[in-house]
Structure 1
Amino acid sequence: MLKTASKTMRSRMLVALVAIATSLGLVTVVGGAQAAARIGGTQVGLEQFWINGCGMPKVKVRAWKRPGNYKTVIMLDGMRAQYDYSGWEINTNIQEMVRSGVNVVEPIGGPASFYTDWDAPSNFNGQQYRYTWNCAITRSLVHALDRRGYRVGRSRKYAIMGLSMGGNASLTIGAQNRHNFDAAGSLSGYNFLSAPGMRTMIRLAMLDVDPKPWNVDSMWPIWGLQWFQNDPMWNIGNMHGMKIFVGSGNGLFGRYNALPNVFDDLFQGSTLEFLAFTQAKAFQAAAALSGLPVMSYDAVGTHSWGYWQDMVWNAKSRGFFR
């Protein structure tokens, strides 16, 4: 009897909270089947291939190319990257850029990797090999794309963009490999990794990524120089002459926050995005002081795919890939 009453009370509280959120304009109902319809939707120039993992298992890559396109962008995934498809293909339509000038390349896998070369395998979850994602992207992937004719446009260089952990990694990889990249974008990325408290925040986030938990000290030692070497803030000096795009939401609910996800969005998406927002603003302020122009995009929204899709299309419409 008590259990039934408790369940009823929780249900009523849920209904009440959703009703309040809806009345305040915090929740917008969107189609729940959006993600499932993405894969296979764009077949223009689609090819799949594998690249050397630099000591990791081979990395699967799915890419879209069309003759005459003026740019190729490498799109990096987020913390919960899967091994079947990139989250970009599952959850967005950015592959459609191939129809209007931009080739799209999506390396697959690497959950919690930060797309960097780790010091050691993660000993918390029995990882069998050391992540070497920086090598895989800057050497194996770039060389494979060169051989397949993806180095296009006037500059003959690539663009690189990513979301969340892939965002800050994109800025760092681009800045440290200027011979291959002339444009880099961070979407809800953590662009000031060496800021006070960030090591703890990253540590806690990685404990909850499957196959969990991941040990951040296996990635970069707690007081190691890697925290600075992989920090976009400390790489601003190498970004002059590049196109830089920084997008983030403000943590408030917007058009892509659907009813079924309201609690995840509130307790995870809002918190993560507000952190990314503060990091974006700190990075932009430091860039301005150093004379580095930054193309920015501020959204009313949380840490979720709809907003990242909009950011990519916004960058394209403003000439970021030109």
Structure 2
Amino acid sequence: MRVAFAGPRAGRNHSRFIAALVAMATVIGLAGVVGGAGQADARIGGTSVGREQFYVNGCGMPAVKVRAWKRPGNYKTVILLDGMRAQYDYSGWEINTNVQEMVRSGVNVVEPIGGPASFYTDWDAPSNFNSQPYRYMWNCVITRSLVSALDARGYRVGASRKYAIAGLSMGGNASLVIAAQNRHNFDRAASLSGYDFLSAPGMHTALRLAMFDVDPKPWNIDAMWGPPWGIRWFQNDPMLNINRMHGMKVFIGSGNGLFGKYNALPNVFDDLFKGSTLELLAFTQAKAFEAAAFVQGLPVMTYYAAGTHAWGYWQDMLWNAKNRGFFR
């Protein structure tokens, strides 16, 4: 799926684990804007919809590119996080979906770009396996640099004056934790095929295998939050942050691993041996999170449907959330 007014047409950005995760599928388990940033396409299609591109401070990483869509009078701004194979030219959301069109019906859309295999978190150290020259500091970028830049550009809108955040796969569980731990800036979060029970048995190994297959490969997961018994694995587990989500709107979406309307030739083989098993894992984790949220008295908006780990389904999930009032 592609956006009518989105110029780039890069290849699909699949955020997927390798097929070796079949054995894991049973788991229920610094602030400021960089100077001189440019703005483009003040008006699109003769409407008052504005699209801009700018850069924000990378908190020790290179400056982070951001593309955003805004319209006067909109009632909410959502920050969209990408998946495991995030690119450095455009967000997979822009390349593969039409969700930027939400700007025409009330919701400003913001897409930070880059960070493959980052889990949008601050890493303990650079990944030494692939000689990463700096350590990831994505939590700092999103919660400090990006929010400050958006505030300065008038994206803090609506009655609550807070942002929404949503992501798919690795960006899904990151969205939940970022929002839960930064309630002064966020009041709703959505996880689409995310991994919402990261401290579950086997997840550390599953993610290690996945990150071995992401360019520039291989990534060392121990450089992220340390060994599986390290405290940061628990601090970044959405399941263990439910107690901090009360008063937030939370949306959990997942396919069930079965083929649906977006599964067709020539991708059937890939969808079957990667997309299906990966989405089944996301589905079991989503259900576990939903059950834990119910026990703790946290209302959760859910969306489950036939489908695999693929962009068409994530587009549908986000539109479903919007159409049901998630951003209101």
State the alpha-carbon separation in 1 of the partners of residues 7 and 321 from structure 2: 24
State the alpha-carbon separation in 1 of the partners of residues 134 and 95 from structure 2: 27
TM value normalised by structure 2: 0.87
State the alpha-carbon separation in 1 of the partners of residues 256 and 196 from structure 2: 15
1:37 shift after superposition: 6.6
Change (3 A) 1:38 1:213: farther
Give 5+ residue unaligned stretches, structure 1: 1-33
Helix, strand or coil for the counterpart of 1:124?
coil
Matches within 5 A, 1:237-252: 237-252=243-258
Higher helix residue share: 1
Helix, strand or coil for the counterpart of 1:246?
strand
Matches within 5 A, 1:40-189: 40=7, 43=44, 44-189=49-194
What residue identity is the alignment partner of 2:226? P
1:211 shift after superposition: 0.8
What residue identity is the alignment partner of 2:290? Q
Matches within 5 A, 1:144-293: 144-222=149-227, 223-293=229-299
What residue identity is the alignment partner of 1:184? A
Change (3 A) 1:37 1:99: closer
State the alpha-carbon separation in 2 of the partners of residues 63 and 225 from structure 1: 35
State the alpha-carbon separation in 2 of the partners of residues 225 and 251 from structure 1: 31
TM value normalised by structure 1: 0.88
Cα contact 2:4–2:98 (8 A) shared by 1: no
Give the count of matched residue pairs: 289
1:149-206 CA distance string (max 9 Å, x none)? 0000000000000000000000000000000000000000000000000001010000
Cα contact 2:80–2:110 (8 A) shared by 1: yes
1:44-103 CA distance string (max 9 Å, x none)? 310000000000000000000000000000000000000000000000000000000000
1:224 shift after superposition: 1.2
Match of 1:319 in 2: 325
1:263-294 CA distance string (max 9 Å, x none)? 11000000110000000000000000000000
CA RMSD of aligned residues (A): 1.2
1:285-307 CA distance string (max 9 Å, x none)? 00000000000000100000000
Compare CA radii of gyration and give the structure with the larger one: 1
Cα contact 1:76–1:166 (8 A) shared by 2: yes
State the alpha-carbon separation in 1 of the partners of residues 243 and 148 from structure 2: 26
Percent of aligned pairs with the same amino acid: 81
State the alpha-carbon separation in 1 of the partners of residues 102 and 50 from structure 2: 12
1:36 shift after superposition: 8.8
What residue identity is the alignment partner of 1:254? G
State the alpha-carbon separation in 2 of the partners of residues 37 and 245 from structure 1: 27
1:258 shift after superposition: 1.5
State the alpha-carbon separation in 2 of the partners of residues 97 and 51 from structure 1: 23
Runs of 4+ that moved beyond 3 A: 34-38
Cα contact 2:70–2:103 (8 A) shared by 1: yes
State the alpha-carbon separation in 1 of the partners of residues 205 and 248 from structure 2: 31
Matches within 5 A, 1:24-43: 34-35=1-2, 39-40=6-7, 43=44
1:145 shift after superposition: 0.2
